[in-house]
Amino acid sequence: MAKQKTNENGSERDAKKADLEKNTVSGDGHFHTSNHGVRINDDQNSLKTGERGPTLLEDFHFREKMTHFDHERIPERIVHARGSAAHGYFELTKSLSEYTRAAFLQEPGTRTPVFVRFSTVAGSRGSTDLARDARGFAVKFYTEEGNYDLVGNNIPVFFIQDAMKFPDLVHAVKPEPDNEMPQAASAHDTFWDFISLMPESMHMIMWTMSDRAIPRSYRMMEGFGVHTFKFINDSNEAFFVKFHWKPVLGVHSVTWEEAQLISGKDPDFHRRDLWEAIEQGHFPEWNFGVQIVPEKDEHKFDFDLLDPTKIIPEELVPVEIVGKLVLDRNPDNFFAETEQVAFHPGHIVPGIDFTNDPLLQGRLFSYTDTQLIRLGGPNFQEIPINRPVVPVRNNQRDGHMRQTINRGKSSYHPNTTGGGCPFQAKMSEGGFVSHTEKIDAVKIRARSQSFFDHFSQAALFYNSQSDIEKIHIIQALRFELGKVKDPGIRKRVVAMLSQVDQSLAGQVAEGLGFVVPDVPAHLNQSIPADGNPDDFQPQKSAQKEVQVSQALSMANTVKNSIKSRRIAILVSEGVDEVSLNTMKEIIEDASAETKILASHLGFVSSDSDSLIAVDETFSTSSSVLFDAVFVPHGHKSSDKLQKDERVLNFIREMYRHSKVIAADRSGADLLHAAIPKISVQGETRLDNLANGILINRTAKEFIEALSQHRFWDREKMLNPLD
């Protein structure tokens, strides 16, 4: 008998299975089989008694196929249901051995495979990517010491201070229970009712009402660990640490009007953007930063490090960049990977530990619990995307869908039947040992006084914004509260805003048609055990160390690249081929992407009668899916474009959304037809570099303008708060 291939366990059957595996899972042209491996001869017709007769119960293939289909959906995540993910790696650039003994943070150059999932929070699985919402930024590091999950958001603070309030927050923001409306939106009564009674949420509200909550791309948003964590080094010293992801492409957003239009035109906008960038080799990249505070400095700040509604301003503790994250591979299968991945803030490795942040402590319970219902049982860690790269050996056994075939008698510890295996690892052998922390306390259901300043950092955020960012926050609040039906809720929120900034509250109130009301008698629901609710007022310290923080404004972000930006080129018959191709090549050389848009698919003929291939039409595409527009030279082409209302609207939207608009010679006729002229130092003209409108400008000027992302002054000229 020919020698059979064997795997490491010597099982012939397993070896054979491994050989066959790719045939059954890849759908790569091999025979169709049933799930018990029998080749299927007819997948078109069910088994019947006669060609026109009833279907037979014995049709095992039909029943198996239909049963599987009937069970294809699993419960979606209760929050963060809508998401997209990618594989990649984390590379350490600076050793953190001084602070932590985590193996993957020791040697610069060490690469750790990662799987990263981005998400919105409130919407269900099929909802739009462009909802006004926080974004999840969850990273699973497959380290040599086991999996480490950094399950963060694109906003560095959270709505609530204690996990006890999480179900309330989520119930309030989700669609209302009587009519299941609105989907993926916070602009409704229950959310704002809850917020109006929850002053601790005010800092996070400032962020979610800012443009941070409507990112241009997952690739252009920051990520934060939110809680303060602990690093523990080899000498068992502890350091407080906050984690940051800083996108190499800078932090950029769309406008609220755009977000709403994109939600209709392409609700998969962020998912598509991430997928396509990776397919095109524009691998998304972030720098990894840490803010480190020695244990002895825990009480040095005028806020509590354990309070998840607070940041550590970068002016007080700078962010040190120590690594980079690169996403370079799309998942093979959305369900198997993106849907079944199970993150958990409790997945930590030696050298990293928790703090007593009460929000974090509560999360440590919730994440395993939710996987039990979502992924169907306790063996979710065995799903391929969740498995660590190191072996798993313990005495856990059985349960739904167990994959591991444990051998031998022993499933307990201590034992002799299994030779004492698996052994416990000493700290020196890489065993995880929780950091020893002295706690001398009474059992109490309460919150520390040091958590009660709810407004200073909300004000810090607001004060750190540029003028246009402030305007966007006011507009967002007018929109959200304008959708609220109960006037009492609106007024309570505005009263609370007055604790952040009087002029902010005044302008929001004006948009809602009332004057800023008095501050309610007791704003604070976080009542200490022995306190009288009526005595308890939130504090706002008079003078804070940091009044304005540069890092909080997107106006100060990186603006040096047009990599992977999308530029629409509008054409019609008679377009000047040289004008078009020159610009197209320059843009593509700078690693940006062009799409040729015309009124029909197929080809348009140029002025020299060559055929130009059309990528998308004015009906299938939309201005909001692009970062800039270019109209090439060509009298005939420009004339025809001007007669198309869709094209005029395309340019007008580009103008309203403060994007770069460029034209070559007669292409400018279209711009003149679509947008108003601007008066610059007494001269009325359209071309204006400072305003992002470029006529007959050089390629260098175009690239520089586009790397600015937006020209917000244009918006200011439109009197946005009128």
Binding site for ligand HDE (CB under 6 A): 77-80, 83, 117, 119, 136, 138, 151-153, 158, 163, 166, 226, 308, 341-343, 359, 362-363, 366-367, 370
Active site residue 379: no
- Under 8 Å CB-to-CB from 384, ≥6 apart: which residues? 336
If the CB atoms of residues 199 and 308 are measured against ligand HDE, the closer one turns out to be 308
- Ramachandran category for residue 430: left, alpha or beta (phi over 0 → left; psi -120 to 50 → alpha): left
If the CB atoms of residues 411 and 448 are measured against ligand HDE, the closer one turns out to be 448
If the CB atoms of residues 270 and 490 are measured against ligand HDE, the closer one turns out to be 270
Distance CA 273, CA 129 (A): 11
Cβ–Cβ under 8 Å, residues 517 and 495: yes
If the CB atoms of residues 42 and 369 are measured against ligand HDE, the closer one turns out to be 369
If the CB atoms of residues 307 and 664 are measured against ligand HDE, the closer one turns out to be 307
Distance CA 382, CA 388 (A): 9
Q: What is the closest distance, in whole angstroms, from the C-beta atom of residue 339 to ligand HDE in the complex?
A: 9
Task: Identify the three-state secondary structure at position 525.
Answer: coil
The Cα diameter of the chain in Å comes to: 96
Q: Which of 61, 87, 153, 463 is catalytic?
A: 153
If the CB atoms of residues 338 and 707 are measured against ligand HDE, the closer one turns out to be 338
Cβ–Cβ under 8 Å, residues 631 and 572: no
DSSP label at 339? I
Cβ–Cβ under 8 Å, residues 15 and 21: no
Angle (nearest 5°) at CA 384 between 379 and 389 = 100
Q: What is the closest distance, in whole angstroms, from the C-beta atom of residue 368 to ligand HDE in the complex?
A: 8
Q: What is the closest distance, in whole angstroms, from the C-beta atom of residue 525 to ligand HDE in the complex?
A: 16
Give the DSSP letter string of 17-66: HHHHHHHHHH-SSS--B-TTSPBPS-SS---BSSTTSPBPTT-HHHHHHH
Active site residue 153: yes
To which H or E segment does residue 273 belong? helix 269-279
DSSP label at 119? E
Report CA-CA distances (Å) from 150 to 219, 224, 349, 421, 711: 17, 9, 11, 31, 35
Q: What is the closest distance, in whole angstroms, from the C-beta atom of residue 92 to ligand HDE in the complex?
A: 22
Cβ–Cβ under 8 Å, residues 213 and 223: no
Going by C-alpha positions, the residue among 482, 535, 525, 501 that lies closest to residue 194 is 525
Q: What is the closest distance, in whole angstroms, from the C-beta atom of residue 581 to ligand HDE in the complex?
A: 43
Report CA-CA distances (Å) from 201 to 165, 192, 403, 482: 11, 11, 43, 19
Q: What is the closest distance, in whole angstroms, from the C-beta atom of residue 381 to ligand HDE in the complex?
A: 13
Q: What is the closest distance, in whole angstroms, from the C-beta atom of residue 270 to ligand HDE in the complex?
A: 14
If the CB atoms of residues 376 and 418 are measured against ligand HDE, the closer one turns out to be 376
Q: Which of 61, 80, 203, 344 is catalytic?
A: 80
Q: What is the closest distance, in whole angstroms, from the C-beta atom of residue 480 to ligand HDE in the complex?
A: 21
Distance CA 601, CA 599 (A): 7
Helices 467-482 and 256-265, axial angle in degrees (round to 10): 60
If the CB atoms of residues 218 and 455 are measured against ligand HDE, the closer one turns out to be 218
Q: What is the closest distance, in whole angstroms, from the C-beta atom of residue 507 to ligand HDE in the complex?
A: 30
If the CB atoms of residues 135 and 565 are measured against ligand HDE, the closer one turns out to be 135
Going by C-alpha positions, the residue among 156, 94, 103 that lies closest to residue 348 is 103
Positions annotated as catalytic residues are 80, 153
